[in-house]
Structure 1
Amino acid sequence: MRPYYMPREFSHVILLAVYIPPSADGGSACDVIHSITASLQTQHPDALFLISGDFNHVPLKRTLSSFTQYVKCKTRDNKTLNLMYANVRNAYSSSALPPLGRSDHNMVHLLASYQPNVLQQPPITRTIRVWSEQSMESLQDCLDLTDWDVFYRAHGRDIDGLAKANTF
C-alpha cells in the first residue's frame, strides 16, 4: 500500500491480515507468520509493517519481539483476540467500539499517535555567510585575470582532468 501522505522514513506500508483458527497449532502458525514477515522485511527494510487479525490463542510476543502490539482493549467478551502489531513503537493507541451488526467481536478504533522523525529531532540553526558586493567583484577580477589556457593546454578535452586541476 502507498497512502497519499506518509512520513519520509517509510517507503511504503505492508499489511498482513491473519486468521488463526482456535484449533490451529500455535507453533506452526507462528513459524509461518515469522517466515513471511522476515522475508518481506528483507525485501523492504524501510517499510511500515502492520500485522492484524484474529489470533485467538496465539500471541506473537516471542515470535516477533521487535514488533509492538497495540490492541489493549477487550475484543470478544473478556478476551483480547483481535490484535494489531507494527514494527514502529508509539504509533497507535486503541479503544473498543461496539460490534458491527451481529458480530461477536468488538471493533477496535486505532488512533495514530506516531510522530515522524522530522518532528522528533530538534531544529538545527545554521549560519550562512553572504558575500558582500565588494567580495564578489574581487573574486570576479581574480577569475578574469586567470590564464585559463594553461589548464586547457595541459588537459585538452579531458573534462575530468580539467575539473581536478581547477579544484581549490
Structure 2
Amino acid sequence: MDTALCKLYEAQFQAQHRHTALIAVGDFNSTNLKREVPNLYQHVTFPTRGNWTLNRCYTPYKDSYKALVHPPFGKSDHAAIFLIPKYKQTLKWEAPVQREVTHWTDQSMAALQDALDDTDRGSTDDVSEFTEAVVGFIGKLVDNTIPRTTIKKFPNQKPWLDKTICEALNSCTAAYNMGIINGNMDEYKSVAYGVAGW
C-alpha cells in the first residue's frame, strides 16, 4: 500500500503545474491518497462494495463534484459512480439586468456633428475651466442628440460580444449544418476562416 501511494505521489505533477485539473479515480481499497497528497479532496461518500467505500475520486477542488451511486456494470460487484460537477452556471444564479445604452448610428452622428458645428465655442484663458465646459457641453449634446435603447444583459455575456459577432457565429453554424447535409464543407470553411480572422 505504501509503495503504491509513493508511486502515485511521484506520478502526480501538480507541484509543477499548479492549475492542472488533476483527477485521481479508481479502486483504492483501504488506501487513503489524501495521506500522501493532503491538498486532494475525496468526493465519494457512500459504500461502493458491500459496506466499504473502496472506489474513490480525488481532486484538488473541495466540493467540486457530487457523487451518485448507480448499479454495477455487467458482473462487477462494485457500484458504478456518477460524478456531477457542483458548479452552477452564472447564467442560472444571476438574473439578467436591463441597462440603457446609447444607440450610435450614422444619422445620430451626423446630427451631433451638425449641433457641434452650430455651437458658439466662446473663449477663456483658464484651460481647466474651458476643458470642463467643453466636456460638459459635449455630454449634454450627446444626451440630447443620440437616442438611447434599453437592452437586456445576461451574466454570461462577454462585453466584446456584439450583434455582428453573434450573426457571424450563427452564419458559421448554419454553413456547417448545410455542409453536413449536402457533403460540401467549402462554404463552411470560407465562413469559418472569416470568423477566425477577427
Q: TM-score, normalised by structure 2?
A: 0.44
In the alignment, does 2:95 pair up with 1:95? no
Aligned to 1:27: 2
Between the two proteins, what is the percent identity of the paired residues?
29
Aligned to 1:105: 78
Find the aligned partners of 1:81 and 1:110 in 2 and give their Cα distance. Answer: 16
Q: TM-score, normalised by structure 1?
A: 0.52
Find the aligned partners of 1:116 and 1:44 in 2 and give their Cα distance. Answer: 26
Find the aligned partners of 1:90 and 1:43 in 2 and give their Cα distance. Answer: 24
In the alignment, does 2:42 pair up with 1:69? yes
For these two proteins, the number of residue pairs brought into alignment is: 100
Residue identity in the other structure for 1:34: Y
Contact 1:90–1:114 under 8 Å retained in 2: no
Find the aligned partners of 1:95 and 1:73 in 2 and give their Cα distance. Answer: 9
Give the CA RMSD over aligned residues.
3.0
Secondary structure of the structure 2 residue equivalent to 1:61:
helix
Contact 1:55–1:81 under 8 Å retained in 2: yes
Contact 1:73–1:80 under 8 Å retained in 2: yes
Q: Which blocks of at least 5 consecutive residues in structure 2 are unaligned?
A: 93-130, 139-198
Greater alpha carbon shift after TM alignment, 65-74 vs 107-116: 107-116
Greater alpha carbon shift after TM alignment, 64-73 vs 52-61: 52-61
C-alpha change, 1:29 and 1:133, in structure 2 (3 Å) is: farther
Residue identity in the other structure for 1:109: F
Shift of 1:116: 8.0
Aligned to 1:134: 134
Q: Which blocks of at least 5 consecutive residues in structure 1 are unaligned?
A: 1-25, 120-130, 139-168
Aligned to 1:46: 19
Q: Which runs of 4+ in 1 moved over 4 A?
A: none
Q: 1:42-68 CA distances to partner (integer Å, 9 max, x unpaired)? A: 332111110001111211121111110
Secondary structure of the structure 2 residue equivalent to 1:41:
coil
Find the aligned partners of 2:40 and 2:22 in 1 and give their Cα distance. Answer: 9
Higher RCO (C-alpha 8 Å, min separation 6): 1
In the alignment, does 2:45 pair up with 1:79? no
